[in-house]
Amino acid sequence: MCQMIFSIPTDEQCKVTSHLKLYPAPKIPVMFNDDGIFEVPSKFLMDVALKHKDVMSSVGTYADHLQVFFKFIETLKTPSGFLRKKYDWKDVTDHHFHSFIHEKQNQGRKNKYIGHILTTVFRFYKWAEENKYIRKHVAIYHDDSTYAISAKYNENFSSWTWPYLPSNEFEFKSVPTGEHLEEAHVKAIETSNIVGERDALIMALYERTARRMDALRIRVQQIPTQEEIDEANESDKIVKITVLGKRNITRELEITPELAEEFRDYIDGQRAEIVSRVKRANKAYKDTGLVFISYNDGSPLNPTYISSRISCYLPERMSGHRIRAKGITDIVAAYDGYDAEGKPLAVRDVLLRAAEAAGWKNPMSLRSYLASSRASHRSARVHSESREKALALKESRLRKQITQYEQLKPIADAIGSGKEISAEMIEMLLNSIMEH
């Protein structure tokens, strides 16, 4: 008889201990088998949930995927033709992945469905390898050794994948390049007078490894004053913004003085206008203190809404989440380099510093990012690119403003000379005011 494998979500009172503190952990799937709690997959789901609090629906999907795969494994027969009496998840190999593909294809399942499940399963085994629940089982070590589960590092995606996913129906989200992001910033500002500047700044935070919720929780008081920015500019220093990250742990995001100045301009300009307008319409309104607020009513931004907006500025198969993947590569590159003797810095030292800056729990899991960075000699370019992007953002914003002013100049001239203004010109003026 096969084992039962199922999951039950934690209740509202559930708390977990991390860094000697208790954190709420409701609605996180816990997996069970005949022996009770299916410990390691449950720890994986808990870890994912605590790291990415804004994707709880995804954690539930991961639990479903793991159940489907492990239930399938339970049905496999031994070479002698008998069902296994007891299953050990550590026994899984490439053979089981391939068997799963063939079984589901024979059932009429689409490759996209199969690919999503195996991507989750591979992610689980990669996590188990990185967290030492299994050792030398998954091929994530950049060597020629033979491993039970194959892995391939894709530099375009900055991630490890299982290399034998069925067909090309299943596609991963690509990591945007510097060119992609520069175009996205310009597109955001030029396509929307209302929220383009805000969206561009959120993307800039993603590039500095901020998670979606990290960015949306930043408060006005956390942004340096103009005096502090001027001082950083004069001394050519990086500006640091303290953010509240996952598990309510604070960390510092490093940004250029140029980007900090863009934040200050947005807060003192467009954001201040939103707050003023909303207060006039609603006397009971109280400023949230958050940097990024809704244009319509000044309320906190909806995370799903923001993800949708950011994706609109990027090419197909790219998302805001993948911007962060590029940002992590840049952070690793920023801490990489050479010692006084011209030798590459020790891998462990680079990864420890990068992990702290990026809010990454396991420094060793950043090895693939370092490998990608060193292969492309990225460390020598990352700082200058960050500064150039901030300047490009400012240039786009100013160019947009100049265009608006040029459109309004005939109206201003007409008013100044006492001429009558047509209905069309009045409508144009009102639209421009509304967009500002």
Any idea where the domains of the chain sit in the sequence? 6-161, 178-385
* pLDDT bucket at 434, cuts 50 / 70 / 90: very low
Q: What percent of the chain clears pLDDT 70, i.e. is strictly above it?
A: 71
Angle at CA 370, nearest 5°, toward 393 and 40? 110
Question: What local confidence, expressed as pLDDT, does residue 82 receive?
Answer: 47
Contacts 24+ apart (CB under 8 A), 407-415: 407/432, 408/432
Q: Assess whether pLDDT exceeds 90 at residue 418.
A: no
Higher pLDDT pick, 244 / 232: 232
Looking from the CA of 184 toward its CB, the CA atoms found within 13 Å total 27
Mean pLDDT of the chain: 78
* pLDDT bucket at 219, cuts 50 / 70 / 90: very high
Q: Assess whether pLDDT exceeds 50 at residue 322.
A: yes
| Average confidence (pLDDT) over 66-91 | 71
**Sequence-separated (6 or more) residues with CB below 8 Å from residue 84:** 74, 76, 77, 78
Q: Assess whether pLDDT exceeds 70 at residue 415.
A: no
pLDDT tens string 245-294: 666 778 888 888 888 999 999 999 999 999 999 999 999 999 999 999 99
Domain 178-385 class? Answer: mainly alpha
Lowest-pLDDT range of 1-10, 46-55, 357-366, 418-427: 418-427
Lowest-pLDDT range of 106-120, 181-195, 295-309, 419-433: 419-433
Question: What local confidence, expressed as pLDDT, does residue 254 receive?
Answer: 82
The identity of residue 77, as a single letter, is K
Question: What local confidence, expressed as pLDDT, does residue 247 receive?
Answer: 63
Token pair of 306, please?
């923001």
21-24 and 15-18 as β-strands: parallel, antiparallel, unpaired? antiparallel
152-154 and 21-24 as β-strands: parallel, antiparallel, unpaired? unpaired
Higher pLDDT pick, 405 / 333: 333
**Sequence-separated (6 or more) residues with CB below 8 Å from residue 164:** 94, 97, 98, 101, 150
* pLDDT bucket at 419, cuts 50 / 70 / 90: low
* Contact between residue 175 and residue 157 where contact means Cβ atoms under 8 Å apart: yes
| Average confidence (pLDDT) over 101-128 | 91
Higher pLDDT pick, 346 / 425: 346
Tokens 């953002």 appear where?
393
* pLDDT bucket at 128, cuts 50 / 70 / 90: very high
* pLDDT bucket at 15, cuts 50 / 70 / 90: low
Q: Assess whether pLDDT exceeds 60 at residue 149.
A: yes
* pLDDT bucket at 163, cuts 50 / 70 / 90: confident
Q: List 161's β-bridge partners, or say none.
A: 152
| Average confidence (pLDDT) over 148-155 | 84
Higher pLDDT pick, 169 / 309: 309
Q: Where are the alpha helices (DSSP H) in 131-177?
A: none
Higher pLDDT pick, 27 / 160: 160
Question: What local confidence, expressed as pLDDT, does residue 178 receive?
Answer: 79
Higher pLDDT pick, 47 / 53: 47
Look up the pTM and report it: 0.54
Higher pLDDT pick, 424 / 187: 187
